Amino acid sequence: LLLENGAKIEAREEEYDGTALHLAAANGHEKVIEVLLEMGADIQATGGVYSNAVQAAIAKGHESAAQMLIERGADVNAQGAYFG
């Protein structure tokens, strides 16, 4: 609903500095990940504590969320952030 009404999909959360996709992945919210990707979220977006969404999912122990991101093209060799 937020995205349909103009919310910016790549907006960054100030304290965390990650996108909505990073946050959804870090919390294992697979349905949210799916919707964000369908709405055009950048699966390769970097920044934040975990650098990218797949690193966030893995670091927080959400294997199925990480697998979903990998199957949709997330770069498993991406570098950066604390877990670079």
Residue 53 belongs to some domain of the structure: yes
CA distances from 33 to 30, 82, 83 (A): 5, 22, 21
Query: What is the Cα–Cα distance from 55 to 61, expressed in whole angstroms?
Result: 10
Residue 79 belongs to some domain of the structure: no
Domain limits for position 8:
3-71
This prediction has a pTM of: 0.81
Residue 76 belongs to some domain of the structure: no
Q: What is the pLDDT of residues 14-68, one digit of tens each?
A: 655 688 899 899 999 999 999 999 988 999 988 777 788 999 999 899 999 999 9
Amino acid at 45: A
DSSP string, 2-27: TGGGT--TT---TTT---HHHHHHHT
Residue 63 belongs to some domain of the structure: yes
Which residue from 34, 17, 13, 33 is spatially nearest to 25, judged by alpha carbons? 33
pLDDT at 76 over 90: no
Q: Residue 63: which CATH number? A: 1.25.40.20
